[in-house]
Structure 1
């Protein structure tokens, strides 16, 4: 059984569009993962520095154009919470990346299969 040229062309075009969209989203997700990993590293370094401070040290955090006193324990807790949130985000982005890579791979395989079969279904 043979597929008409118009139907075959439309099918290939749809699969190619899906592959291109997947590739674009893969690039976007990879840049998001890299950005979040940098933020995690910064938060971990900051947490280490705060942990190394003597117990009675005053810590001031920037809020807009002013600085506000924050207890060391609150700052450390906030840094740990932000780090765990970012790690969760990276894990979710990793799952999304895996899905997108699978979708892209499958799209490419379908296109190759169509061309190798010569338009016969």
Structure 2
């Protein structure tokens, strides 16, 4: 009778281990994406503050691939604020995803703890 219990526990532990490894990789990926987006956001903010100090008649160019396109100051400011907003939204989504992943791992751990406690009680 001890063998089936051990097999069930072993199966549950292996599933938990696989889930933990997968979740840790997803969390690391989310952290990397958050770092990249915060750098992008910071770069856009710094560029925006520098552009606002320039006179209105300054010629501004936007880099597109290997060339530069003449843009108005207003268009560049709008693009930079859009970059900041989209980066902020993506960061919030990634943080929510991280919380969900961490919660799912915690629930799996709790389920295995309950299984162990119920086996010991028998």
TM-score above 0.5, yes or no: yes
- Give distance in 1, aligned partners of 2:109 and 2:70: 56
Aligned-pair RMSD on alpha carbons? 2.1
Could you tell me which residue of structure 2 aligns to residue 52 of structure 1? Answer: 53
Say which structure, 1 or 2, has more relative contact order (CA 8 Å, 6+ apart).
Answer: 1
Helix, strand or coil at the partner of 1:28:
helix
- Give distance in 2, aligned partners of 1:59 and 1:85: 23
- Give distance in 2, aligned partners of 1:109 and 1:23: 17
Helix, strand or coil at the partner of 1:4:
helix
Helix, strand or coil at the partner of 1:54:
coil
TM-score normalized with structure 2 length = 0.85
- Give distance in 2, aligned partners of 1:40 and 1:90: 10
- Give distance in 2, aligned partners of 1:6 and 1:43: 55
TM-score normalized with structure 1 length = 0.86
Query: Mind listing any 5+ residue stretches in structure 1 that lack a counterpart?
Result: none
Of 82-91 and 63-72, more deviation after overlay is shown by 63-72
Of 111-120 and 38-47, more deviation after overlay is shown by 111-120
Could you tell me which residue of structure 2 aligns to residue 109 of structure 1? Answer: 110
Query: Mind listing any 5+ residue stretches in structure 2 that lack a counterpart?
Result: none
- Give distance in 2, aligned partners of 1:57 and 1:107: 59
